[in-house]
Amino acid sequence: MHGYASDNFFRGPKVYFAFGALAIGAASALRAMVVLPPMAGHVDAAALSAGAIYAALIFLYERWGWRWLSTLKNLNGTWAGEITSSHNGGARVPCVMRVRQRWTRMAIELETEQSRSRTTMAALYEEQPGDIGLKYEYVCEPRNLAAQTMQTHRGVCTMAIAEGTDGLRLSGDYFTGRGRETRGEVTLHRISRDFLGFGAALKREN
């Protein structure tokens, strides 16, 4: 996983300050209820308790808490759809995308029959009125049995996030850099909160 940028309120410094205040308050309450043993070197046991509580809060929020205690879009799961590329005259190619997301980290993989790509950086923007989306840079590698014309290349994809009748949808466009120099469109919808393999995802989609 790599870090990702976001303009969401719940990714700002105020969240860290809030956790710090909670940790200090909890440590103070613990000190009032329990006699903490003296620490070597005159280390304040209450301060250590506050640090431990703060670390635990951050860990729990990073892994799970943000899903219920923030407005950050949760994109976790398997998505299926198709790519329409300028390569091969605009042919439509089935694709599967898997998103693994935490509070501050994310990893996106996108697969087709010919290639597999993974993200190197990403941004989730939500605070612009009418403009909620995901933007990421990726590295795409051809599969072993892919056409000889395919080669490893980089690209950028920008997709809007919208609510559909069957849940969240992603749609947008991409372009690739040197070595490929193509462009196209991507449309996806989430088919599972679990992480499905390429074949299993296409089978469920069909």
Does the 77-205 domain belong in CATH 3.60.15.10? Answer: no
Q: What is the pLDDT along the chain (206 residues), one digit of tens a residue?
A: 999 999 998 988 889 999 999 988 887 777 776 655 555 444 555 666 788 889 999 999 999 999 999 999 999 999 999 999 887 777 899 999 999 999 999 999 999 998 999 999 999 998 776 678 999 999 999 887 766 667 788 999 999 999 877 789 999 999 987 766 788 999 999 999 999 999 999 988 87
Give the residue carrying structure tokens 């949760």: 74
What pTM did the predictor assign?
0.86
List the domain boundaries for the chain.
8-69, 77-205
**CB within 8 Å of 63: residues ≥ 6 apart:** 102, 103
